């Protein structure tokens, strides 16, 4: 029987509050996570029901996935209102607090800055670069400027200042100058951890559907401009996260870890660490994996979704799914999904298939007096067979109805955050691998 413990599992987006320790091999940082729909989030609406929040998260998943359909959308970052997590950092000297969407699917960090030609309403003061002694604009031939794609980069030749411009899929936009600054992360144990000379975008022309609670976006993708990449030498080019099913209103919490100790080298509590190659391809912002098959119960189905590449002439067919913490649902290639859904339906017991009242989820099941029996699902990545719990693959919409948190897509496949919960998911950017270790995140933090 599916329990209530995962009703709030998709209601976790995220403030990052770093605690740091030092070692001979560099810093190790642990980050506490709070979801955007948690009572601790500035976006929390007490009038929304659990179903309201779930359905809103599902719709954000669909909107966010559409940015993967074209080269322009891919390289422009994310749908402006589609992030699931928040991050709290400080920028400048003296430091100014910043709250922005944290996203593993984008690179350049940008915030709203004074003086602003056009800015969306923001609950907190804009960043004033003139009050920071460490603010420095990037030149047109600088490495940060060259790391921008052709349609993102511009130049103020008269002042030799690099410009950036992003246009998002929902017609939101941001424009400004590229600069370097000292980014600091608060530590509950003492002094903040600082990273001088970090490149970011200082936006002075921004508009669209950006939320009032956020300053902008903090990029945690795989490209050279992301925060993770820029501080890579300090954290051993390794990070991991563990998303808990336990509500943030209890003692349970979720975390992200950065540093050499963030990925377990040995199995813990008899739970094996499964490792699969991280497929590097264009664009390098996204974390591509290769999904070979899915097993439903005892039925193994070879995955027929093709490899994904922006370059039509590319012969690369590996890397057929993107692992993304900012997308709630998991999306699989529609041709494969027909057989997959049929196998799931055949394996469910004690319930009949019904339609999702919101029309978003494709496989929903309603029970009578019996408990719903759900199949075990295993995701077969290259060299890593990841067994899912029912709470990963299914979400409870009411007392007597569950729906699969996996839907079809005609675009690129996405491995979303519901399916990753209660796994320690590790990224080793040096060895180019992603690892999975099944643990109770709330009990191991």
Q: Which residues are catalytic?
A: 103, 324
Sign of CA dihedral 237, 243, 244, 249: positive
Sign of CA dihedral 255, 258, 259, 264: positive
Roughly how many angstroms between the first and final C-alpha of the chain, as a whole number? 27
> Which residue in 111, 412, 200 sits closest to 286, CA to CA?
412
Residue 57's H or E segment, with its range, is helix 50-65
Dist. CA 24–CA 218, nearest whole Å: 28
Q: What are phi and psi of 143, to 5 degrees?
A: -60, -45
Q: Which residues, in sequence order, are CB contacts of 141 under 8 Å at separation 6+?
A: none
Sheet holding 384-388, edge to edge: 299-302, 291-296, 377-381, 384-388
Dist. CA 161–CA 138, nearest whole Å: 6
The residues with which 219 forms a beta bridge, in sequence order, are 103
Cis (ω within 30 of 0) for the bond into 94?
yes
Dist. CA 227–CA 294, nearest whole Å: 33
């Amino acid at each position: 029987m599916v329990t209530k413990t995962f009703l709030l599992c998709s209601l976790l987006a995220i403030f990052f509050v770093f605690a740091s320790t030092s070692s001979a091999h560099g810093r190790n940082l642990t980050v506490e996570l709070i979801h955007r729909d948690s009572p601790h989030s500035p976006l929390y609406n007490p009038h929304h029901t659990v179903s309201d929040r779930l359905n809103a998260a599902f719709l954000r998943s669909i909107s966010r996935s559409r940015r993967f359909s074209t080269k322009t959308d891919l390289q422009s970052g994310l749908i402006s209102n589609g992030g699931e997590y928040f991050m709290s950092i400080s920028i400048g000297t003296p430091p100014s607090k910043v709250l922005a969407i944290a996203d593993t699917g984008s690179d350049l960090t940008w915030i709203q800055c004074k003086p602003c030609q056009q800015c969306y309403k923001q609950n907190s003061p804009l960043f004033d670069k003139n009050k920071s002694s460490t603010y420095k604009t990037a030149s047109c031939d600088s490495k940060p400027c060259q790391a921008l794609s052709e349609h993102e980069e511009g130049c103020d030749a008269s002042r030799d200042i690099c410009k950036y411009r992003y246009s998002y899929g929902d017609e939101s936009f941001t424009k400004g100058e590229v600069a370097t600054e000292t980014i600091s992360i608060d530590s509950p144990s003492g002094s903040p951890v600082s990273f001088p000379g970090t490149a970011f975008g200082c936006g002075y022309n921004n508009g669209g559907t950006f939320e009032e609670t956020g300053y902008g976006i903090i990029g945690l993708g795989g490209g050279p401009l992301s925060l993770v990449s820029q501080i890579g030498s300090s954290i051993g080019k390794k990070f991991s996260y563990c998303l808990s099913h336990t509500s943030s209103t209890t003692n349970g919490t979720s975390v992200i870890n950065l540093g050499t100790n963030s990925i377990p080298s040995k199995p813990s509590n008899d739970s094996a660490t499964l490792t699969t190659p991280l497929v590097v391809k264009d664009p390098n912002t996204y974390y591509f994996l290769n999904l070979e098959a899915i097993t439903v119960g005892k039925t193994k189905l070879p995955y027929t979704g093709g490899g994904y590449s922006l370059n039509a002439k590319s012969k690369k067919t590996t890397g057929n799914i993107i692992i993304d913490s900012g997308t709630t649902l998991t999306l699989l290639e529609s041709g494969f999904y027909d057989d997959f859904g049929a196998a799931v339906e055949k394996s469910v017991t004690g319930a009949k298939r019904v339609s999702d009242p919101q029309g978003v989820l494709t496989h929903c099941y309603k029970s009578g007096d019996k408990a719903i029996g759900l199949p075990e699902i295993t995701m077969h990545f290259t060299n890593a067979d990841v067994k899912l719990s029912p709470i990963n693959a299914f979400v409870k919409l009411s007392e007597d109805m569950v729906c699969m948190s996996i839907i079809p897509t005609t675009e690129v496949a996405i491995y979303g955050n519901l399916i990753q919960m209660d796994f320690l998911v590790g990224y080793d950017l040096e060895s180019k691998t992603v690892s999975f270790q099944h643990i109770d995140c709330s009990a191991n933090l």
